Chain A
Amino acid sequence: MIKANSVTKVVNTSEGSLQILRPISFEVKSGESVAVIGASGSGKSTLLGLLAGLDQVSEGEIFLDNEALHNMDEEERAVLRGNKVGFIFQSFMLVQSLTALENVMLPAEIAGLDNPKALAIDILEQVGLKHRAHHFPNQLSGGEQQRVAIARAFITSPKILFADEPTGNLDAKNSEKIEALLFQMNREKGTTLVLVTHDNELAEHCDRQLTMNAGELVETTQSKSANKKEAV
């Protein structure tokens, strides 16, 4: 589903060019869940940005559902994102001036799906927030906002879901709930999940962990749970 070949990222700064990703190659299969872990500044979010087509690679190739992301311009990448990709962010990234319902409807409308409102209500019900549909983000708690974000991410039934520290802004109790919800929805929809996190426990829930250090992919490990799953 995702294929990265010798992907690098170099940025120009006032002190010259800086390589923030050294050549990275890996593959993620359809339906697989992968956690990208590593210390702050290790290049996790940069990698996520490149894989999701939010940023352009400096060198190398990225294929998303067999489509060559590295050859696309911003417009083509936007269309691809709209059709195949969902996102969840640490800071929720809800549009403050739209209600929960309207935030969830947004990707469906952009993708031109039929009856986005019904889809949104349905999925809000699945995340247990139907009763808060008409509230604005600043009227919701952090956990509720992230549930809205999850509903938004799944409304277009994306093939791939990218999550950037989805529990980073939440307390332990809410983190657990969100984790559970995220993986439950992921399983139900059969989505491929790429998740960036500091949280080893969260990473453990994924099939595989890619460990980053100073812009390099240093280790790939299979989760115990995944092994268990495989064993089962």
Chain B
Amino acid sequence: MSTSFSLAWRLFKHEARRGELTIILLAIVLSVAAVLSLSLFSERLQGALKSRSAAFIAADAQLRSDEPLDEEWLLKAQQEGLSTAKQVSTRSMVFNGDAMSLVDLRAVNNTYPLKGTVNITDEPFGEKRDTSELPQSGEAWVQSRLFQSLGLSIGDRIEIGDGNFTVTKVLVDIPDAGFSVFNTDPIALINLADLEKTAVTGPGSRARYVGFFAGDASDISNFNSWLLPKLNDDLHSWRTVEDDESAIGRSVASAERYFLLASLLAIVLAAVSIAVAAQRYAQRHFDPVAIMKTLGATSATIRKIYLYQILLITALGILIGLVIGFIGQQIVVSLVADKVDVSLDVWHWRPLVIAVATGATCALLFSLYPLLQLFSVPPLRVLRKDISTNLRSRGIQFAASGGAIFTLMWMYSQDLKISAILFVSGSTLVLGLLGATFGLIAVGRKLGSGKMGPWQLAWARIKRRAMDNSVQLISFSVTIMLLLVVLVMRNDMVSQWRSQLPEGTPNYFLINITPDIQPKLDRHFSDNGVKIEEFYPVIRGRFVSVNGEGVNTDVSKEDEPNREGRRGLGREANLTWSNTLQKENEVLEGEWHGDSDETFADGLFPVSVEEGVAERLNIQMGDRLTFNVGSEIVETKVTSLRKVNWQTMQPNFFFVIHPDAMAAFSPTYITSFYLPTERKAELTNLLKPFASITMFDVDARINQLREIVDQVSVAVEFILVLVLLAGSLVLIAQVQASMDERSQEIAILRTLGAKGRLIRKSVIFEFVIIGVVAGFMAAMANELSLYLLQTSVFQMQASLHPEYWVIAPAVGAVVVGILGAVGCWRLLKLNTSQMLRNMV
């Protein structure tokens, strides 16, 4: 063993035993434990949530196509180790004798569904249960509504296209049923083998062919890379759980981003605490280095000794951190297990690698500057204690620390945007704080003069240690800011999720309400104590031209996959008309047409278009849109573009026309109402007088949505607690570190006869001042980070949080003040000679 290593080992052994490495070791342990527990937990949870939301597309990924899928593709997927399933869906008429109805026909093969379950019930509108079976050849499973509209019973024969089927089960739901108010046709499920005999997918029909894939993320991604070049954008679309644009998909996606954010912040917290600890570590070793150099140690020997020592500390810190992190994470998992209806047992290697890499990178990079300082301590320090180091440039320190944090964040998130946002707002905070510290010192210079009371002592200390204090202030502020970001983000996100589905969200929809029935229905419902939401008039119209240029209205011709000309809607549009802007709609461009009854001079009526469809169909403000409604032509002009919140459970429309344009037409109405689950039995009675109305039930789906949102919220809350815990520990470590620096001064004050009370008060005041400033600066930087995060990453409405401008400084003052008091109390317990001896 080399001399350097044996010296390093001896120093390490004794210092560890004497508790001198506690702070730096604790910082590394904390960083590794926080990163491991957070990322392991979030990865497990994400995996679990993903598999849960995978149920909504019945697979991990779907390939949708307008023409039959190439069998070779499915074969390739199976070779890649994926499970596959197939479905063909189309709209078709179903006959039961003379009665007929349009259905959403789904023909599936025997492996369907890969994720989620098919639900059936024993009688129409009965209690649902899972089944692993599927319709056998010759069988059809149909939804309750079809039983109602066709007067069916189990065992009846129905005709679908050219095929005859026996109705054997009441279908409640299939996982990938989808949800749309206008997707009103009941589902009929048959075996894929029977599809051919129905002949409903012949030329001219509009069928969708879906391939389902499930397996490891890496296998899916491999298969996707292989498949992608073979796909035609006009015919095929590839969807994964991540592409899910539903409320669930978005909630899970934003939760994932939140977990990522929280883990990133944990990394920054870790980095801050290690930076503080490493600085202190280096300062404590100035004397030993000077002594060793005086005794003949060369720079190379010193470098080796301390590099070995840092490596030993890092290794031990990482080891303890991994153990604690794993235990912590396991505790959280066991706490959440009964709240989140998913298995959290899958082990992931990535968090382990990330945690080790974070600990090692932070420990080594953040120790770099303090170590360089240490190496440059001149031997002359043995004679003159005031000489500390020849290294003066803080530029290296800031560049190395900033670079390290950014690299870590980027490496971990693989998301340049999130990393850049956090980094920019963090850097702004650091610069702002440097300015603030020096401003504060200038103010303090005035306040600090005069008789030596605790306030004056506190100010004098802050003034004297301007640079040290600014570093300390920055680390406090960054910690508080990160905690604020995680806390406020969680509050905003969870309340936004919850507001999507407030209590009393309509859980039943009624369609096909004719104008003559509408008032009766309204009255009948209110007599029965059920509040009906707004009635929306709906009429089907064909969107035919933009500025006189015809659009493709035919969508069903398979022989024209690459149609030329302007893109059309692809189906009939559900047109509505209103003077009032619907809830959760926001005009982005132009002006809402309101109740002005003026038509345009050229006979055009105002229409408001949803932004997404406007973009897809290349519709601009001021464009003339023509619709065919029955045999009439309705000419409109785009006067506004609207943003629609598709995540709300309410009817949304692409086109809302001025009511005057539609006066001549007789619409049907669509409405929704809320009925508590316990009153479900009243439904039959409620609807009895209105046989022509179609009702559909989204209660189960809303409950499912709410359940997932709740579970994601619980998970987010646990992550929040973890980060708060990590942040508090970092604060404690920082106060401890700075207390150590203060011990010398306290020893001198004690020796000079200062009362414990005076010292304690002055230290508390100093920490209170630092806490207030750090809290306020953190609140400001928090607003900047949140604005950037909410608008660019989470796609949320950005909001100001003025309450935190007061709360953060107050909490900063109290928490930092208390920590200061506790640290000070520990020092004051030592007797003066002990303290003086420790100083040597």
Interface, chain A (partner B; CB < 8 A):
45, 48-49, 52, 54-55, 74-75, 78-83, 85, 87, 89, 91-99, 102, 106-107, 109-112, 136-138, 152, 164
Contact = CB atoms under 8 A, between A and B. Distances in A.
B357 to A, nearest CB: 30
Contacts of B796: none
Contact of B384 (A45, A82, A98): A45
A69 to B, nearest CB: 13
Contacts of B288: 95-97
Interface stretch (B147-155, B262-270, B295-303): B295-303
B295 A55 contact: no
Interface residues of B, number: 31
Nearest to A46: B383
Contact of A54 (B299, B380, B840): B380
Contacts of A152: 295
Given A99-B14, A138-B837, A75 B383 contact: no
B299 A75 contact: yes
Contact of A82 (B14, B296, B837): B296
Interface string B789-808: 00000000000000000000
A68 B15 CA distance: 39
B383 A78 contact: no
Contacts of A78: 293, 296-299, 379
Nearest to B837: A138
A106 B14 CA distance: 15
Nearest to B301: A110
B15 A54 contact: no
B20 A81 contact: no
Given A49-B383, A164-B383, A82 B295 contact: yes
B6 interface: yes
Contact of B7 (A49, A91, A109): A109
A81 B18 contact: no
Given A95-B287, A97-B15, A102-B10, 18 more contacts: A52-B294, A54-B294, A55-B380, A74-B299, A75-B299, A81-B379, A82-B295, A82-B296, A87-B295, A93-B382, A95-B11, A95-B288, A97-B11, A97-B18, A99-B14, A110-B295, A138-B837, A138-B838
Contact of B292 (A52, A89, A97, A106): A106
Contact of A83 (B20, B291, B296, B379): B296
Contact of A97 (B20, B294, B382): B20
B393 interface: no
A87 B14 contact: no
B382 A87 contact: yes
Contacts of A136: 14, 18
- Chain A CB within 10 A, most for which of B6, B382, B838: B382
A97 B14 contact: yes
A111 B296 contact: yes
B160 to A, nearest CB: 86
A109 B383 contact: no
B70 to A, nearest CB: 72
Interface string B281-295: 000000110111111
Given A45-B384, A54-B294, A109 B6 contact: yes
Main secondary structure of the interface of B (DSSP, over half): helix
A92 B840 contact: yes
Contacts of A75: 298-299
Contacts of B379: 54, 74, 78, 81
B3 interface: yes
A143 to B, nearest CB: 14
A95 B291 contact: yes
- Chain A CB within 10 A, most for which of B6, B18, B290, B296: B296
Interface in B13-57: 14-15, 18, 20
B295 A106 contact: yes
B636 to A, nearest CB: 79
B287 A93 contact: yes
A89 to B, nearest CB: 6
A52 B14 CA distance: 30
9 shortest interchain CB distances as A-B pairs: A82-B296, A107-B295, A81-B296, A95-B288, A54-B380, A54-B379, A97-B14, A97-B15, A110-B297
B11 A98 contact: yes
A91 B380 CA distance: 14
B301 A93 contact: no
Contact of B10 (A87, A91, A98): A98
18 contacts: A49-B383, A54-B382, A78-B379, A81-B296, A92-B840, A93-B290, A95-B291, A96-B287, A96-B288, A97-B11, A97-B18, A97-B20, A98-B11, A109-B7, A110-B292, A112-B3, A137-B840, A138-B840
Contacts of A95: 11, 287-288, 291-292
A87 B294 contact: yes
A194 to B, nearest CB: 13
A173 B294 CA distance: 29
A129 B593 CA distance: 99
A20 to B, nearest CB: 12
Contacts of B301: 110
Contacts of B294: 52, 54, 81, 87, 93
Contact of B380 (A49, A94, A137, A138): A49
Contacts of A109: 3, 6-7
Contacts of B15: 97
Interface string B814-825: 000000000000
Nearest to A82: B296
Contacts of B292: 95, 106, 110
B600 to A, nearest CB: 80
Nearest to B10: A102
Contact of A81 (B11, B290, B295, B837): B295
Given A92-B840, A97-B14, A48 B383 contact: yes
A189 B3 CA distance: 26
B388 to A, nearest CB: 15
A75 to B, nearest CB: 5
Nearest to A84: B296
A199 to B, nearest CB: 17
Contacts of A81: 294-296, 379
Given A49-B383, A87-B294, A110 B3 contact: yes
A93 B290 CA distance: 9
B382 A82 contact: no
A45 B385 CA distance: 12
B839 to A, nearest CB: 10
A159 to B, nearest CB: 13
Contact of B383 (A54, A92, A106): A54
B14 A79 contact: no
Contact of A45 (B287, B293, B383, B837): B383
